[in-house]
Structure 1
Amino acid sequence: MHHGRLRAIASMLTAVLAFSGMDTLLKLLSASYAPMQVATLRGACAIPFMLAPIIMTRSWHALIPRRWYMHLLRGALQVVVLGGFILAVRELSLANAYAVFLSAPLIVTALSVPMLKERTEPANWVAIAVGLGGVCIMLRPSVSGLATLGSLAALVAAFGYALGGITLRMLTRTDTTASVVLWTISTMTVLAGLIAAPHWVPIHPEHYRWLVGLGALAAVGSYLLAEAFRYAPASVVAPLEYTALLWGIVIDRVIWHVLPSARVCWGGAVVISSGLYLIWRERTHLARELAAPSWQPPP
């Protein structure tokens, strides 16, 4: 069990790094194409990378879905997530978009109790509330601050992502990682493509290299994300997504030469601290379970 959780943590941290690189390309592409077209291109470019290991190993049986309706639901949620998030990064800096989107792991942890029947102690609920307070600090809790198009799009994407994380945890109980990842992205690509078709714009030749990178990073990130949720409860791996804020700050500085405001830094520190506290609580609980002597009936 302990080895599995360490594997899940490493998978999630690497997935966040891959997705941060992917989000950078999404922001660059969003300057030239509509959000749904970018989402379609993201999915279409990722599918070949995901099929490659299946073709090489001829493990086609791994793609057979056991609960196809859940794959369709998760694909539809991905349309909401990607469409909303791409719109958010087009309007906001990466760090600011992440600041709003970081409410998603908190929602996943909260929803894991009623939907996945996972246990969360009262102290964890306090940490979730504090983390959401940190998100509010970064949002500047005022009517004007919450009403911006980018912030609203990020909030919609965060809620969709949280529901997608819960369905992912449900699917990995019965379906393979390859099946979950491929069918979700295939469904998302078809649905987003139908929405984008009436206003499709020809692809600029100089953007093809970005699309290749987009597909590779999406495939790697999606696979590692599914692996993380397979080997550990959502309450363990979800808080690790807070490291995306650190990558967002670095990328904003290097590429767009901007830095987040002091409010974003303070709020981000609160959110990350809440996530780290949840991880510490989970590890402490696991250590107590391993140290507790097993009960045996008297002779």
Structure 2
Amino acid sequence: MTAPTPPVDHPLRGILAMIAAVFLFAGMDAAMKQLTSSYGAMQITFLRAACAWPFIVLWLAARQELKHLFHARWSLHFIRAALGIVMLAAFIKSLETLALTDAYSVFFVAPLLITALSVWWLKESVRPAQWAAIVLGLAAVLFMLKPDGHELLSIGALMALIAALCYAVSNILVRKLAQSDHAGNLVFWLMTLIGIGAFILAQPHWQPLQWQAHWPLFLAIGLTGTGGQILITQAFRLAAPSIIAPLEYTALVWGLGFDVLVWQIWPERDMLIGGSVIIASGILVIWLQQRHSR
């Protein structure tokens, strides 16, 4: 198995790569949101994987990594793919009723969940100040799940929260898989297994693909999804995680831009307040972790 490309220290390039990656992922989410009026969440989950798959294969071929694909810990890959299916389907379901900005505001609780789960699963230490930030972020989620004071739960926000939980558990699995599997395996098998599983699960409510109307969206999903994955990998290779990780929150800026330009939607006040608290909590957790590790 070939060794991963060694990290280099180019903070500015890493920052630009991360911002571009988050922009591409936001573009992919916007394309998927546009498809929610024509296809079910599970079918769009399949399309997300299928549209990216050819580009992933080309990327791995260019990196000469195809020969390493079958050196894999299959049990963890299948579990991660199952989580990926639920994550994508739930997030896409949330986009049926929520603006991108609102969905992102709830979804950004994921980094807090990753930190909390790492204590139980990876036996990592979390300091009291980090726990305080996690509790504050979770309280903000509860605030956003009841945005109008009458409904116990917003279904869209609940779906985004389920997606965040699946994403958090999946990221814990990535830490386990990274100890034995090549980076290309993680991307290839995730998309392959999600595509197969979502295709099967989508069959009861399958809708004929409207190729003439939607091929630009299919292509956009494939290109932005793959491009975002490549750039985020580069970002973490070029700069320290403490510099790169907080930039994931720029998705709120891109999401707001797409909401206004494409759908003329402005986020609700309570979502902005709750999202701001979650982002502040997440950045605080990252900063405290980096400070503790020095």
State the TM-score, normalizing by the size of structure 2.
0.86
State which drifts further: 10-19 or 87-96: 10-19
**1:203-248 CA-partner distances (Å, limit 9, x unpaired):** 2212111111101111233345567789999998765533322322
Supply the distance in 2 between the matched residues of 1:263 and 1:104 (Cα, whole angstroms): 19
State which drifts further: 132-141 or 210-219: 132-141
What are the ranges of 5 or more consecutive residues in structure 2 without an aligned counterpart?
1-5
What are the ranges of 5 or more consecutive residues in structure 1 without an aligned counterpart?
290-299
**Structure 1 pair 140/57, CA: closer, same or farther in 2 (3 Å)?**
closer
The structure that has the greater radius of gyration is 1
Q: Please tell me the root mean square deviation across aligned C-alpha atoms, in Å.
A: 2.9
Residue 274 of structure 2 corresponds to 267
- What is the CA distance between 1:18 and its match in structure 2? 2.1
Residue 135 of structure 1 corresponds to 141
Q: Is the 8 A contact 2:107 2:160 kept in 1?
A: yes
Supply the distance in 2 between the matched residues of 1:114 and 1:230 (Cα, whole angstroms): 28
2:229 partner amino acid: S
Residue 44 of structure 1 corresponds to 50
Q: Is the 8 A contact 2:32 2:92 kept in 1?
A: yes
Supply the distance in 1 between the matched residues of 2:29 and 2:63 (Cα, whole angstroms): 30
2:37 partner amino acid: A
Residue 32 of structure 2 corresponds to 26
1:188 partner amino acid: I
Residue 180 of structure 1 corresponds to 186
Name the SS of the counterpart of 2:266 in structure 1. coil
Pairing 1:77–2:88 present: no
- What is the CA distance between 1:56 and its match in structure 2? 3.5
**Structure 1 pair 9/169, CA: closer, same or farther in 2 (3 Å)?**
farther
**Structure 1 pair 100/109, CA: closer, same or farther in 2 (3 Å)?**
same
Supply the distance in 2 between the matched residues of 1:132 and 1:62 (Cα, whole angstroms): 40
- What is the CA distance between 1:133 and its match in structure 2? 2.1
**Structure 1 pair 233/73, CA: closer, same or farther in 2 (3 Å)?**
farther
- What is the CA distance between 1:50 and its match in structure 2? 0.4
**Structure 1 pair 219/105, CA: closer, same or farther in 2 (3 Å)?**
same
Q: Is the 8 A contact 1:87 1:150 kept in 2?
A: yes
Residue 17 of structure 1 corresponds to 23
Name the SS of the counterpart of 2:96 in structure 1. helix
- Once the two structures are superposed, the pairs formed by residues 70-109 of structure 1 within 5 Å of their partners are 70-109=76-115
**Structure 1 pair 278/5, CA: closer, same or farther in 2 (3 Å)?**
farther
1:45 partner amino acid: C
State which drifts further: 73-82 or 115-124: 115-124
Residue 3 of structure 2 corresponds to none
- What is the CA distance between 1:180 and its match in structure 2? 0.4
- Once the two structures are superposed, the pairs formed by residues 155-166 of structure 1 within 5 Å of their partners are 155-166=161-172
- What is the CA distance between 1:15 and its match in structure 2? 3.5
Name the SS of the counterpart of 2:158 in structure 1. helix
- What is the CA distance between 1:139 and its match in structure 2? 2.8
Supply the distance in 2 between the matched residues of 1:109 and 1:235 (Cα, whole angstroms): 14
2:218 partner amino acid: L
1:80 partner amino acid: V
- Percent of residue pairs identical: 39
- What is the CA distance between 1:279 and its match in structure 2? 2.9
Supply the distance in 2 between the matched residues of 1:68 and 1:81 (Cα, whole angstroms): 20
- What is the CA distance between 1:116 and its match in structure 2? 2.1
Q: Which residue, out of 36, 57, 66, partners 1:60?
A: 66
**Structure 1 pair 113/130, CA: closer, same or farther in 2 (3 Å)?**
same
Pairing 1:196–2:202 present: yes
Q: Which residue, out of 243, 250, 254, partners 1:247?
A: 254
Supply the distance in 2 between the matched residues of 1:61 and 1:227 (Cα, whole angstroms): 21
Pairing 1:211–2:215 present: no
**Structure 1 pair 236/111, CA: closer, same or farther in 2 (3 Å)?**
farther
Q: Is the 8 A contact 1:16 1:244 kept in 2?
A: yes
- What is the CA distance between 1:271 and its match in structure 2? 1.4
**Structure 1 pair 143/167, CA: closer, same or farther in 2 (3 Å)?**
farther
State the TM-score, normalizing by the size of structure 1.
0.84
- What is the CA distance between 1:144 and its match in structure 2? 4.5
Supply the distance in 2 between the matched residues of 1:14 and 1:68 (Cα, whole angstroms): 32
Name the SS of the counterpart of 1:91 in structure 2. coil
State which drifts further: 103-112 or 129-138: 129-138
